Amino acid sequence: MTDFIRFIGVNKDTTTAGPGKRLEFFTKGCIRGVVSPCFGCFNESTWTFEGLSRTLTVEEVVQICDRDAWNRQVTFCGGEPILQAKALAKVAQQLKGIDPDFHFVMYTAYKLDTLMKYGLKFTWVKEKHGTAMRDALLDYAADVEGIKFDESKGEAVVSEFTILTPEDVQEVMKYIDLIVDGDYQQEKRLTTSEYMHDGWFIGSANQRVIFGPETVKSGTLKYIAAEEYNKQRANSAQCKCCGKIVDDSQNFCRNACLARYEERKLLKRTLK
């Protein structure tokens, strides 16, 4: 099933999850976190497939984004969002149909060029990974085979999942504008500050910022290295609404962003 998504949290107006202030969703569950966690990952609570989470339908997420993403900027992090990417792509597709200005960022520890070529596969073993992971992957996966049973207990102990096919990956990239790929590597951390700088949303120098729709259209991977992307952002003026780079003399990239920004200011005054 790909018509619902499991989340563990959401932040509004965050400034370290992509350009501009963003509505940031944290997906539940990370295979890498269970098997071999990224040292220094700040989201340990999102790794496990057990425990509390909130399940929302695609339509419910669309409604939340349309209501709360005042500047149309949305980020999916985790956890590992790529596990639920088919449902997240549906969200992005529907929202871009409502308003083409919606802009999406997604994180994944996997290398995107590898996913484009091979898809995403994973062999689940009960004694290593637990039943909650299998239950979740049964919901997310494109296919499952190689199932081995414990006949005495009547339950699966091994399952080979195809979570995403290469075609699935291409479909996701059509609607996710920026994809930050690669595992977080503490020794390559890009900022030495205790906290991320505003607008700095790539954690380590090995990661890349991949342009999803442009990659699909061209057939070749279109990206910029994380460190170079951060330098561009740090040395440029940015739209106060959507975060796009603008001329030094500008505060907004266009009139629509100015209107959204002023509407937001008026609403905040009204609520005080």
Residue 53 scores a pLDDT above 90: yes
pLDDT greater at residue 186 or residue 249: 249
* Residue 195, pLDDT score: 46
The pLDDT value recorded for residue 205 is 73
Q: What confidence tens digit (pLDDT) does each residue in 195-245 have?
A: 444 445 667 778 899 999 999 999 999 999 988 888 888 888 999 999 999
- Per the listing, tokens 């996913």 go with 115
Q: Pick from 255, 181, 268, 260: which is nearest to 20 by CA?
A: 260
Average pLDDT over residues 7-28: 93
pLDDT at 135 (0 to 100)? 95
Question: Over pLDDT 90: what percentage of the chain?
Answer: 72
Question: How confident is residue 185, by pLDDT bands cut at 50, 70 and 90?
Answer: low
pLDDT in tens, 25-49: 999 999 998 998 877 777 788 999 9
The 10 Å CB-count burial string (b at 16+, else e) for 47-81 is bbbeeebeebebeebbebbeeebbbbbbbbbbbbb
Alpha-carbon distance of 41 to 77, in angstroms, equals: 12
More confident residue, 92 or 234: 92
Inter-residue contact 30 to 38 (CB < 8 Å): no
Tell me the average pLDDT of the chain.
90
pLDDT at 184: 77
Average pLDDT over residues 117-131: 96
117 band by pLDDT with thresholds 50, 70 and 90: very high
Q: For 146-175, what is each residue's pLDDT tens digit?
A: 999 988 888 899 999 999 999 999 999 999
pLDDT of 193 over the 80 cut: no
Which token pair is 240? Answer: 């106060």
- Locate tokens 């005042």: which residue? 70
- Model pLDDT, residue 233: 83
- Give the pLDDT score at 198: 46
Q: What angle do CA 86, 167, 10 make, to 5 degrees?
A: 20
